[in-house]
């Protein structure tokens, strides 16, 4: 989908609500570092603003932009936030949480944290269940949500997620606010990985950002894993290069 259509997609999605919240994540496929998600709130007023009309054509799926382009757009988004024209936040799920909840569970956790920094999930609940004091039945009580917003996420629908949402495969190439979220998440995580490079030298985190490049694989085989490596990912990705028992040895020798 051409970039000029991203704004038009959001204008259709925002019909019937006052705002649209795009959510995306980065880092699911890496074998080191956290998963980072971001949520971006836009209104119809913003989507019809001069900025959206003249500048949103530069926004795209973060993977299709250079690092310099992402940084430049991040600075513009930061200014828009400080001006109160959009709202945005990010959420992080650590390596420990990835190991505990698996990558999908950690992704949902990061997305939930990004959204909770903007609105609590109760604000989107269309109805709630309350016990009936006079019988064993439960009564569904309608109430007015405090937020008139629609959440749209990149990818497939998330089962058990506390926010009602619509999901769009390749949403970061279809929706302006999802693409904006993808850029914020990507820039945020890249900065984290650059800082991690100083704490754990030798792996090249500042260059490959924790993904499974040949350089990264060779560094793990040479010096072992660090505390920011996802052990289950290393076992899978390096299965053809190293015996799992050797990975146990490398982990124990930190």
For the chain, the domains span: 4-194, 200-252
Task: With H, G, I as helix, E, B as strand and everything else as coil, classify residue 168.
Answer: strand
Of how many residues is the chain composed? 254
Reference 117, options 84, 144, 92; nearest CA is 92
91-105 confidence digits (pLDDT tens):
999 999 999 999 999
On whether the CB atoms of residues 228 and 200 are closer than 8 A, the answer is yes
198-225 confidence digits (pLDDT tens):
999 999 999 999 998 999 988 998 888 8
225-245 confidence digits (pLDDT tens):
899 999 887 776 566 554 444
The 19-26 sheet, strands edge to edge: 87-93, 35-43, 19-26, 149-154, 166-168
What's the pLDDT at 236?
66
Which position has the token pair 């990985």? 193
User: How far is Cα 23 from Cα 182, in angstroms, rounded to an integer?
Assistant: 7
What architecture is the 4-194 domain classified under in CATH? 2-Layer Sandwich (3.30)
On whether the CB atoms of residues 179 and 153 are closer than 8 A, the answer is no
Which position has the token pair 């390596």? 95
- In the predicted model, what is the mean pLDDT of residues 173-181? 97
- Of the candidate ranges 1-15, 38-52, 154-168, the one whose mean pLDDT is the lowest: 1-15
């Amino acid at each position: 989908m051409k970039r000029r259509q991203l704004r038009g997609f959001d204008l259709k999605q925002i019909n019937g609500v006052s705002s649209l919240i795009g959510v995306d994540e980065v880092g699911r496929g890496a074998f080191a570092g956290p998963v980072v998600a971001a949520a971006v709130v836009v209104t119809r007023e913003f989507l019809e603003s001069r900025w959206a009309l003249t500048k949103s054509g530069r926004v795209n799926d973060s993977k299709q932009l250079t690092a310099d382009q992402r940084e430049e757009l991040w600075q513009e988004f930061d200014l828009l936030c400080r001006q109160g024209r959009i709202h945005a936040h990010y959420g992080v799920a650590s390596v420990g949480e990835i190991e505990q909840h698996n990558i999908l569970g950690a992704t949902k956790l990061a997305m939930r944290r990004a959204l909770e920094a903007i609105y609590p999930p109760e604000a989107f609940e269309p109805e709630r269940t309350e016990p009936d004091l006079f019988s064993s039945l439960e009564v569904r009580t309608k109430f007015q949500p405090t937020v008139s917003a629609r959440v749209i996420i990149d990818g497939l629908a998330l089962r058990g997620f506390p926010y009602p949402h619509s999901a769009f495969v390749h949403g970061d190439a279809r929706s302006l606010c999802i693409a904006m979220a993808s850029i914020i998440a990507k820039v945020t995580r890249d900065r984290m990985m650059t800082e991690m490079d100083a704490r754990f030298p030798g792996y090249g985190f500042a260059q490959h950002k924790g993904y499974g490049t040949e350089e990264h694989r060779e560094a793990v085989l040479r010096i072992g894993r660090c505390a920011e490596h996802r052990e289950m990912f290393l076992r899978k990705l390096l299965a053809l290069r190293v015996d799992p028992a050797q990975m146990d040895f490398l982990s124990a020798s930190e």
